[in-house]
């Protein structure tokens, strides 16, 4: 039983890791970032590159990926997202276009393939990231086998969630962000630099996606299309949790993760996926604002 | 009738006339190809109807397309030559035999669990009817649940998206009755009173073009009815419409059903001209791609969305002979899409409409551009 | 000299540009000294990772034949199309090749789904398809030549070998959720029971599924002593990685796979697969001069010194030569003539001697079992010695003496 709970916890932590960035960008800015999955993908590729070109392992890739994707997020906010505030559904479409562009940039090796130049760590093929050997040694307490890699993901996710909470609720920047969440024009008239704050928020959310990418690269394949299904999972978590609610996202990631883990263990993974989709549909129908929500906007 | 609506009428007539004279210029291969693109055009019309006119962004339109496709494909599968060769009096799809437990009876009633569902599909009219009714029915139930609860915007997008992924998963999993991932292939030809619609016949093309023309005219008339106008009022401000005493949910459900039924018909026509049905019809990317077509063509214009779909697919098919072009083409579509959403939210149709305005204004009197969105368009 | 990849791409691109003249008023004039063939694999999308290599090696085979004088003195001109990892596109492109370009043969497809999507085109238009991938069997088409392994060529020596040599008695069967793994499982069960062992579970995961936590946990709890994997695609990578993450090792609980090839091993990192087994007729590690030269030429052609070769890739290569021999025997390049000509054709392929069965148009292949090593290569631990006859209906009791699929077609009364 403990192992089933652990699997659920592990699934939930990965969901939360992906959704954390979305919670912030969607909650604070109302931007439906369909390129979030591509940010995860870029994070994973950053892990590949740090390994190939810097010879560094997964741990070092985490901060680097954060910076790379945060930078990319900043750029994206400046060039695309900024022009679409208030056009909620249009951000969904424009960022889908951006997602295709990012994917093709990797597939076409930033266009170098047209000149028949090959770059290692790019292109349409599968990439791999080596997992540090520490993570491969399992050890057991009684009957319970501890898997270091998954445990690390859980701990890291908890740490990042805590960091996000601290940033949002214990810093001046966080207070601004929350003010914008409630009412952007009121926040602006109080002297908050909404544009700057939004840009930072978007960069931070993208950076979190990059970290998620690094962790995911350790146990899944890395390839250009890997992000697409993730953004769907991420959005389900955010919407079920309640827009802009960090606690809601944590709760819904935990709920969907456990649901998936328990059903997958009792019956099979296909049914588990189906039940998760069904649950998401029902929850949104029952509580369109999500499990945890506030009145605002 | 204003000059502009006269121009619009002209555009519709030209387009429909254009599709009808195509067979004069194309060989059988391209005719078949174009008929598929016309079907995509129909899908874009369905998207424009629900998204542009009702403000309901359905990211799961592939669900209704796929349903229509599977319903007709089931009928056509039973009429195929191989289905009659499986050692039974009734036709039995070949894949059921592979999926059956050893020693199971080879009758449609009980060869695999659930195979009895196929029995009524021996009649082709039943498949056609189901291809129309089932998408509309599901849309009705789903729409009722959504719009009664006043769900809107992005939440609808997420629900429809989860829905299409859920059904896709179930279709793939129910391999004994759906042939899972491989889909339904090796189908018989669609037959109306003895006439077989070989996908390469001109008649098949006319069937598709005719359906598209009827759809275009029908939806265009529909959005101009009282109901259509109320729908647009709801899109602009649903609470105000509600306070005016309109049953908001009923209008939304109705148009959602119409849009889904059109997608269902498109699915059936696709099976007629492509001769297979596959769970990839319910892939997430396909559903979003439809939205892209409509957005590029112009979400507020039925004809614009339709032309957008045809245009994108035609260009894609012509550039796709070289691998490099294909990848580059995807990037170009991505870029084009971002630019259109940013600077041309009403798509090509919006551009055309602005140009018309200028043209008309130019003949009458100079007047400032009607919309800011033309600023970056090629018009300058 | 063989063409380099680059000039090859340029020439095909030029040829393609000529073909792309929109809305076909122009029928492309075929030069009398050329034979056009279709090459239809996914060059883009998720499956392009593998299918791209199949397309490359097909073009390599064509260029080698051309360099050696072509077929009956004519050069082969490939018409390359992209299936885009999507059955819809496959169907459309197959139509283009068959109806518009009127090629006499198309080489293509990796997945069963894409083959099923194009099959109606080839059967209706009486054209010919060469399919290079191992697949589930249960097909008896007069319009397809199958050069990959069928279940009896992957399993009939594998299962007894696992039971006898590894001493394993309890099988956990796991696969991706579609027809190939399900059919493989069916054949596995027959063989397992016939050899006096048992299977404890038969489980499936969505194609492309990458979250293996729950499944590996169930494997752990099931009490099995061997895992038989029919998992396909990038799920394979996640599976082997999770297997090790949960502390399972191949020396105690080996994964015996029917799909895991050099490509997947390279993508997961060989350390995750060391000590696991795969059954295929071809491995890159086959130690013959023919194979070594083949690998060398392939690496040169794709301009990548680390490129790996695998079973479907090797089949994609030798099937072009079988086709060439068939055309020469038939004396003309029409689909019907080639089908007749290909029956019984033999060729010395990198994996050894291959032969097309004149009855069911499948290929005689030599089953082999390899144990994966730390360098990403398989060490061949068992070799059947001689090619065995393909039996696409083995799950229904087809045997060498009692063929279900013959030149006359499928005898459905035997099913």
* DSSP assignments along A34-85, one per residue: TTHHHHHHHHHHHHHHIIIII---HHHHHHHHHHHHHHHHHHHHHHTGGGGT
- Report, as an integer, the average pLDDT of A61-79: 95
- Cα–Cα distance between C161 and C195 in angstroms, integer? 10
- Cα–Cα distance between B301 and B53 in angstroms, integer? 9
Residue B169: pLDDT over 70:
yes
Q: Say yes or no: ipTM exceeds 0.85.
A: yes
| pLDDT score, position B320 | 66
Residue C354: pLDDT over 90:
yes
Q: Which residues pair with C226 in a beta bridge?
A: C171
- Cα–Cα distance between A117 and C251 in angstroms, integer? 42
pTM: 0.88
More confident residue, C413 or C19: C413
* Res. C384 pLDDT band, cuts 50 70 90: confident
Q: Chain C within 8 Å of A120 (Cβ-Cβ)? A: no
Q: Which residues pair with B197 in a beta bridge?
A: B190
| DSSP calls for C304-332 | -TT----HHHHHHHHHHHHHHHHHHHHSS
| pLDDT score, position C7 | 41
First CA to last CA across chain C, in angstroms?
51
Query: Which chains, if any, share at least 3 CB pairs under 8 A with chain B?
Result: A, C
Contacts of C262 (CB under 8 A, 6+ apart): C283, C284, C308, C309, C310, C376, C377, C378
What is the CA B271 to chain-centroid distance, rounded?
13
- Cα–Cα distance between B368 and C1 in angstroms, integer? 67
- The answer to whether C49 contacts A145, with C-beta atoms less than 8 Å apart, is no
Q: For residue C113, give both structure tokens.
A: 């789904």
- The answer to whether A147 contacts C237, with C-beta atoms less than 8 Å apart, is no
Which class for B344: exposed (0-12), middle (13-18), buried (19 or more C-beta within 10 A)? buried
The structure tokens 């997608």 sit at B263
| pLDDT score, position B179 | 87
Positive/negative CA dihedral, B232, B237, B238, B240: negative
Least-confidence region, from A115-124, A179-188, B241-250? A115-124
Q: For residue A95, give both structure tokens.
A: 């960022």
| pLDDT score, position A70 | 96
Q: Are C140 and C410 in contact (CB under 8 A)?
A: yes
Least-confidence region, from A79-93, A164-178, B29-43, B253-267? A79-93
* Res. B187 pLDDT band, cuts 50 70 90: confident
Q: Which residues of C touch A268 (CB under 8 A)?
A: 203-205
| pLDDT score, position C206 | 84
- Cα–Cα distance between C219 and C267 in angstroms, integer? 23
Q: For residue C26, give both structure tokens.
A: 């122009």
Q: For residue B62, give both structure tokens.
A: 């592939």
Length of chain A measured in residues: 297
Q: Which residues pair with C370 in a beta bridge?
A: C278, C380
Which class for B12: exposed (0-12), middle (13-18), buried (19 or more C-beta within 10 A)? middle
| pLDDT score, position C32 | 66
State chain C's mean pLDDT as an integer: 87
Q: Are C81 and C39 in contact (CB under 8 A)?
A: yes
CA atoms within 13 A on the CB side of A182: 11
- Report, as an integer, the average pLDDT of A18-40: 88
What residues 287-346 of chain C have any CB closer than 8 A to a CB of chain B?
Answer: none
* Res. C65 pLDDT band, cuts 50 70 90: very high
**Residues C226-237: b if buried by 16+ CB within 10 A, e if exposed:** bbbbbbbbbbbb
Positive/negative CA dihedral, A198, A199, A200, A201: positive
Residue C200: pLDDT over 80:
yes
- The answer to whether C267 contacts A135, with C-beta atoms less than 8 Å apart, is no
Give SS3 for A110: helix
Q: Which residues of C touch A118 (CB under 8 A)?
A: 303-304
Residue B375: pLDDT over 60:
no
Q: Chain C within 8 Å of B280 (Cβ-Cβ)? A: yes
Q: Which residues of B touch C232 (CB under 8 A)?
A: none
Best mutation site among C412, C413, C414 for testing chain B: the one with the most B CBs within 10 Å? C412
Q: Are B42 and B207 in contact (CB under 8 A)?
A: no
Give SS3 for C200: strand
Percent of chain B surpassing pLDDT 70 = 92
How far is residue A210 from each of residues A65, A72, A163, A177, C201, measured CA to CA in Å?
Answer: 5, 10, 16, 21, 38
* Res. B356 pLDDT band, cuts 50 70 90: confident
Give SS3 for C409: strand
- Report, as an integer, the average pLDDT of C59-74: 94
| pLDDT score, position C28 | 44
Task: Count chain A–chain C contacts defined by CB atoms under 8 A.
Answer: 95
- Report, as an integer, the average pLDDT of B291-307: 91
DSSP B123: S
More confident residue, B206 or B186: B206
For residue C144, give the H/E element and its range. strand C144-146
The residue among B286, B377, B223, B321 whose CA lies nearest residue B60 is: B286
- Cα–Cα distance between A170 and A82 in angstroms, integer? 26
Strands C75-82 and C34-41: parallel
The structure tokens 């590729």 sit at A45
- Report, as an integer, the average pLDDT of C156-163: 92
Q: How many helices (H) and strands (E) would you count in chain C?
A: 13, 17
- Report, as an integer, the average pLDDT of B261-286: 92
Nearest to C217 among A7, A130, A219 (CB): A7
| pLDDT score, position C5 | 42
Residue A28: pLDDT over 80:
no
| pLDDT score, position B373 | 37
| pLDDT score, position B379 | 31
Residue A62: pLDDT over 90:
yes
- Report, as an integer, the average pLDDT of B270-282: 91
Q: Which residues of C touch A272 (CB under 8 A)?
A: 214
* Res. B14 pLDDT band, cuts 50 70 90: very high
Positive/negative CA dihedral, A19, A21, A22, A24: positive
What residues 135-154 of chain C have any CB closer than 8 A to a CB of chain B?
Answer: 136, 138
Residue C167: pLDDT over 60:
yes
Q: Chain C within 8 Å of A15 (Cβ-Cβ)? A: no
Q: Chain A within 8 Å of B375 (Cβ-Cβ)? A: no
The residue among C415, C398, C385 whose CA lies nearest residue C357 is: C398
- Report, as an integer, the average pLDDT of C84-95: 86
| pLDDT score, position B323 | 57
Residue B363: pLDDT over 80:
no
- Report, as an integer, the average pLDDT of C193-213: 88
Residue C256: pLDDT over 90:
yes
For residue A196, give the H/E element and its range. helix A194-217
Least-confidence region, from C43-47, C167-171, C354-358? C43-47
State chain A's mean pLDDT as an integer: 87
Residue B369: pLDDT over 50:
no
Q: Which residues of B touch C120 (CB under 8 A)?
A: 185-187, 275-276
* Res. B116 pLDDT band, cuts 50 70 90: confident
What is the CA B333 to chain-centroid distance, rounded?
20
Q: Chain A within 8 Å of C307 (Cβ-Cβ)? A: no
| pLDDT score, position A124 | 75
| DSSP calls for A9-44 | HHHHHHHHHHHHHHHHHHHHH----TTHHHHHHHHH
State chain B's mean pLDDT as an integer: 86
* Number of other CB atoms surrounding residue C246 within 10 Å: 20
Q: Helix-strand-coil percent breakdown of chain C, rounded to 5?
A: 40, 20, 40
- Cα–Cα distance between B172 and A53 in angstroms, integer? 41
Residue A172: pLDDT over 80:
yes
Percent of chain A surpassing pLDDT 70 = 98
- Cα–Cα distance between B75 and B88 in angstroms, integer? 17
- Report, as an integer, the average pLDDT of B38-54: 94
- Report, as an integer, the average pLDDT of B286-299: 90
Q: Distance from A265 to chain C by nearest Cα, in Å?
A: 6
Query: Which chains, if any, share at least 3 CB pairs under 8 A with chain C?
Result: A, B
- What would the pLDDT profile of C133-148 be if each residue is shown by its tens digit? 999 888 888 999 999 9
DSSP B323: H
- The answer to whether C269 contacts A269, with C-beta atoms less than 8 Å apart, is no
| pLDDT score, position C12 | 41
Residue B377: pLDDT over 70:
no
- Report, as an integer, the average pLDDT of C94-113: 91
Best mutation site among C7, C44, C51, C213 for testing chain A: the one with the most A CBs within 10 Å? C213
| pLDDT score, position B321 | 60
The residue among C185, C158, C374 whose CA lies nearest residue C277 is: C158
Residue B345: pLDDT over 70:
yes
Q: Are C213 and C242 in contact (CB under 8 A)?
A: yes
The residue among C349, C321, C309, C264 whose CA lies nearest residue C53 is: C309
Length of chain C measured in residues: 415
Least-confidence region, from A67-76, B92-101, B371-380, C258-267? B371-380
- Report, as an integer, the average pLDDT of A20-28: 85
Q: Chain C within 8 Å of B317 (Cβ-Cβ)? A: yes
For C38, nearest residue in chain B (alpha carbons): B321
- The answer to whether C6 contacts A116, with C-beta atoms less than 8 Å apart, is yes
- What would the pLDDT profile of A110-123 be if each residue is shown by its tens digit? 878 777 777 888 87
Q: Which residues of B touch A83 (CB under 8 A)?
A: 342
Q: Chain C within 8 Å of A268 (Cβ-Cβ)? A: yes
| pLDDT score, position C24 | 36
* Res. C30 pLDDT band, cuts 50 70 90: low
Q: Chain A within 8 Å of C41 (Cβ-Cβ)? A: no
- The answer to whether B169 contacts A32, with C-beta atoms less than 8 Å apart, is no
| pLDDT score, position C112 | 86
More confident residue, B91 or B209: B209
The residue among B241, B266, B263 whose CA lies nearest residue B139 is: B263
What is the CA B293 to chain-centroid distance, rounded?
11
* Res. B358 pLDDT band, cuts 50 70 90: confident
* Number of other CB atoms surrounding residue B24 within 10 Å: 7
What is the CA A50 to chain-centroid distance, rounded?
20
| pLDDT score, position B365 | 55
């Amino acid at each position: 039983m403990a192992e089933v709970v652990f699997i659920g916890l592990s699934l939930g932590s990965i969901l939360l890791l992906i959704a954390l960035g979305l919670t912030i960008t969607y909650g604070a800015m109302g931007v439906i970032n369909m390129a979030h999955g591509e940010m995860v993908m870029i994070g994973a590729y950053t892990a590949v590159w740090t390994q190939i070109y810097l010879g560094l392992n997964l741990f070092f890739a985490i901060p680097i990926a954060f910076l790379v994707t945060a930078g990319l997020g900043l750029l994206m906010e400046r060039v695309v997202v900024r022009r679409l505030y208030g056009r909620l559904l249009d951000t969904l479409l424009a960022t889908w276009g951006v997602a295709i562009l990012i994917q093709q940039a990797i597939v076409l090796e930033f266009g170098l393939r047209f000149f028949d130049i090959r770059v290692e760590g790019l292109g349409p093929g599968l990439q791999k990231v080596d997992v540090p050997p520490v993570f491969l040694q399992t050890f057991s307490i009684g009957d319970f086998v501890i898997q270091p890699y998954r445990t690390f993901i859980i701990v890291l996710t908890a740490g990042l969630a805590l960091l996000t909470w601290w940033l949002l609720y214990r810093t001046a920047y966080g207070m601004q962000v929350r003010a914008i969440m409630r009412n952007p024009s009121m926040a602006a008239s109080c002297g908050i630099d909404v544009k700057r704050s939004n840009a930072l928020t978007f960069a931070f959310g993208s950076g979190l996606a990059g970290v998620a990418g690094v962790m995911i690269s350790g146990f899944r394949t890395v390839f250009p299309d890997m992000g697409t299904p993730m953004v769907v999972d991420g959005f389900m978590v955010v919407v079920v949790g309640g827009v802009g609610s960090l606690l809601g996202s944590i709760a819904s990631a935990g709920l969907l993760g456990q649901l998936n883990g328990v059903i997958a263990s009792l019956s099979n993974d296909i049914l588990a996926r189906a039940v998760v989709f069904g649950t998401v549909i029902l929850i949104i129908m029952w509580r369109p604002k999500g499990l945890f929500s506030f009145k605002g906007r | 009738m204003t000059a502009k609506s006269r121009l619009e009428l002209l555009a519709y007539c030209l387009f429909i006339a254009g599709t009808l004279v195509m067979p004069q210029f194309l060989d059988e291969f391209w005719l078949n190809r174009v008929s598929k693109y016309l079907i995509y055009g129909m899908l874009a019309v369905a998207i424009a109807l629900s998204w542009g006119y009702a403000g309901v962004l359905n990211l799961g339109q592939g669900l209704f397309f796929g349903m229509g496709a599977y319903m007709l494909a089931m009928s056509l599968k039973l009429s195929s030559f191989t289905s009659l060769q499986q050692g039974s009096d009734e036709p039995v799809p070949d894949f059921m035999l592979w999926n059956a437990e050893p020693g199971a009876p080879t009758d449609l009633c009980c060869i695999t669990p659930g195979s009895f569902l196929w029995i009524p599909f021996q009649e082709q009219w039943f498949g056609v009817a189901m291809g129309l009714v089932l998408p509309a029915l599901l849309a009705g139930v789903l729409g009722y649940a959504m719009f009664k609860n006043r769900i809107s915007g992005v939440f609808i997008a997420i629900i429809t998206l989860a829905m299409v992924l859920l059904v896709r998963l179930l279709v793939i999993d129910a391999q004994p009755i759906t042939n899972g991932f491989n889909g339904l292939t090796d189908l018989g030809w669609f037959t109306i009173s003895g006439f077989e619609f070989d996908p390469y016949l001109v008649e098949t093309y006319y069937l598709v073009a005719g359906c598209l023309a009827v759809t275009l005219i029908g939806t265009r008339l529909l959005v101009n009815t009282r109901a259509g106008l109320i729908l647009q009022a709801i899109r602009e401000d649903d609470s105000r419409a509600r306070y005016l005493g309109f049953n908001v949910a009923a209008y939304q459900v109705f148009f959602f059903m119409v849009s889904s039924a059109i997608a269902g018909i498109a699915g059936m026509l696709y099976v007629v001209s492509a001769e297979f049905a596959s769970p990839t019809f319910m892939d997430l990317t396909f559903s979003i791609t439809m939205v892209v077509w409509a957005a590029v063509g112009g979400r507020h214009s039925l004809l614009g969305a339709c032309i957008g779909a045809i245009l994108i697919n035609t260009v894609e098919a012509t550039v796709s002979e070289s691998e490099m072009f294909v990848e580059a083409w995807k990037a170009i579509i991505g870029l084009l899409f971002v630019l259109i959403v940013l600077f041309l939210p009403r798509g090509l149709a919006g551009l055309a409409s602005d140009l018309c305005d200028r043209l008309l204004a130019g003949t009458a009197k100079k007047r400032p551009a009607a919309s800011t969105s033309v600023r970056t368009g090629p018009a300058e | 000299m063989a063409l380099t990849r680059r000039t090859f791409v340029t020439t095909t691109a030029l040829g393609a540009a000529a073909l792309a003249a929109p809305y076909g008023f122009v029928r492309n004039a075929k030069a009398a000294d050329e034979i056009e063939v279709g090459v239809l694999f996914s060059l883009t999308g998720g499956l392009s990772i593998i299918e791209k290599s199949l397309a490359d090696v097909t073009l390599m085979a064509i260029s080698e034949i051309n360099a050696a004088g072509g077929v009956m003195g004519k050069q082969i001109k490939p018409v390359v199309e992209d299936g885009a990892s999507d059955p819809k596109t496959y169907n459309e492109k197959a139509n283009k090749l068959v109806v518009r370009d009127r090629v006499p043969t198309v080489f293509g497809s990796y997945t069963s789904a894409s083959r099923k999507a194009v099959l109606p085109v080839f059967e209706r238009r009486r054209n010919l398809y060469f399919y290079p991938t191992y697949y589930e069997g249960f097909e008896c088409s007069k319009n397809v030549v199958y050069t990959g392994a069928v279940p009896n060529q992957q399993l009939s020596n594998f299962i007894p070998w696992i039971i006898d040599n590894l001493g394993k008695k309890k099988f956990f069967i796991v696969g991706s959720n579609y027809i190939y793994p399900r059919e493989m499982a069916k054949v596995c069960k027959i063989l397992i029971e016939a050899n006096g062992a048992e299977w404890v579970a038969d489980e499936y995961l969505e194609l492309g599924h990458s979250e293996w936590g729950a499944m590996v946990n169930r494997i752990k709890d099931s009490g099995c002593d061997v895992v038989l994997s029919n998992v396909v695609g990038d799920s394979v990578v996640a599976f082997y990685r999770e297997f090790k993450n949960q502390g399972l090792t191949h020396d105690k609980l080996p994964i015996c796979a029917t799909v895991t090839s050099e490509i997947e091993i390279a993508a997961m990192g060989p350390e995750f697969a060391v000590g696991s087994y795969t059954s295929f007729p071809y491995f890159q590690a086959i130690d013959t001069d023919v194979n070594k030269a083949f690998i060398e030429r392939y690496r040169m052609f794709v301009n990548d010194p680390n490129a790996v070769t695998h079973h479907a890739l090797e089949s994609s290569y030798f099937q072009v030569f079988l086709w060439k021999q068939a055309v020469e025997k038939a004396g003309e390049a029409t689909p019907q003539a080639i089908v007749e000509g290909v029956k019984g054709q033999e060729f010395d392929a990198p994996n050894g001697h291959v032969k097309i069965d004149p009855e069911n148009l499948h290929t005689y292949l030599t089953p082999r079992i390899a144990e994966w090593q730390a360098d990403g290569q398989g060490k061949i631990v068992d070799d059947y010695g001689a090619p065995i006859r393909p039996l696409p209906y083995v799950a229904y009791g087809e045997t060498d003496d009692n063929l279900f699929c013959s030149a006359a077609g499928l005898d459905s009364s035997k099913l």
